[in-house]
Amino acid sequence: MKLTIVEYPDKRLRLKSKEVKNFDKKLHDLLDSMYPIMMNTNGIGLAAIQVAQAIRVLILNIPDEEGEQHQENLLEIINPVISKRAGETVYQEGCLSVPQFYEDIKRHATLTLNYQDREGNTKNLEADGLLAIAIQHEMDHLEGILFIDKLSYARRKKFEKEYKRMQKERKAS
Ligand code: QAP
Ligand code: CO
């Protein structure tokens, strides 16, 4: 499956992703294709809508203490629901669909996640740190929400201006 990353301001990023009902080969092919594109673009998280598939699927590969990503730490998360959330944390986020832009975003510090794996098995996960942040960021994608939507009016205006200038430069080169 050949995939490319959908970038802001593409309207497809605003779609609400649909629940996965069939845990079939098509889903497995999508998951298998999402992993290399995330790794090749230096991502730690990717939602299916970022590769133009509006279904409730996301993958995460959080780096270890040495900052290295290992395939055995890959999480494939389908139909996620947060059942508990607590605390507050701020982290400088980025997004593969909003290249070259990073801003501090406030999230819950810890959460409990219910989800399904690629076979449709029900799973539970307690998350904190970068994993908890990444889960919230990727789950926002399932609702058509981007991290830039959480900026103040002034910061968002600054972003729109910088991003437009950067896109012009990228087209020119
Ligand atoms: C979401 O983001 C996230 O601008 C995943 O040029 C962000 O993988 C989770 C990336 C922060 C937790 C904390 C962004 C790569 C990757 C860029 C990413 C870029 C190259 C973003
Ligand atoms: Co993102």
Query: What's the pLDDT tens digit per position in 45-69?
Result: 999 999 999 999 999 999 999 999 9
Q: What integer pLDDT is reported at residue 173 of this predicted model? A: 82
Name the percent of the chain lying above pLDDT 90.
Answer: 95
- Determine the residue type at 150: K
Which among 37, 93, 128 is the best mutation to test ligand 1's pocket, defined by most ligand atoms within 8 Å of the CB?
Answer: 93
Contact 163 CB / ligand 1 (< 6 Å): no
CB within 8 Å of 160: residues ≥ 6 apart: none
Q: Report the residue among 61, 89, 95 best suited for mutation to probe ligand 1: largest number of ligand atoms under 8 A from its CB.
A: 95
- Whether ligand 1 lies within 6 angstroms of the CB of 100 is answered as yes
Q: Would you list the DSSP string of 58-121? A: EEE----TTS---GGG-EEEEEEEEEEEE--EEEEE--TTSTT--EEEEE-SEEEEEEE-TT--
Q: How confident is the model at residue 73 (pLDDT cuts 50, 70, 90)?
A: very high
**pLDDT interval class at 89 (50, 70, 90):** very high
Average pLDDT of every residue of the chain = 97
What per-residue confidence (pLDDT) applies to 28? 98
Instruction: Report which ligand 1 atom has the smallest distance to the Cα of 98.
Output: 4
% the chain with pLDDT above 70: 100
Q: What is the pLDDT of residues 124-158, one digit of tens each?
A: 999 999 999 999 999 999 999 999 999 999 999 99
Given this model, what pLDDT does residue 171 score? Answer: 82
pLDDT band per the 50, 70, 90 thresholds, residue 22? very high
Q: Is 155 left (phi over 0), alpha (psi -120 to 50) or beta?
A: alpha
Per-domain residue ranges of the chain: 11-172
C-alpha 48 to ligand 2 mean position (Å): 10
Q: Which tokens hold the place of 116?
A: 């399904």
Question: How far, in Å, CA of 123 to CA of 76, rounded?
Answer: 11
- The answer to whether 102 and 93 are in contact (CB under 8 A) is yes
Question: Is pLDDT of 39 > 90?
Answer: yes
Ligand 1 contact, 34 CB (< 6 A): no
138 tagged catalytic? yes
Q: Given 2.40.160.10, 3.90.45.10, 3.20.20.70, 3.40.190.80, which CATH number is that of 11-172?
A: 3.90.45.10
pTM beyond 0.85: yes
What is the rounded distance in angstroms from the CA atom of residue 66 to the CA atom of residue 36? 21
**pLDDT exceeds cutoff 90 at 109:** yes
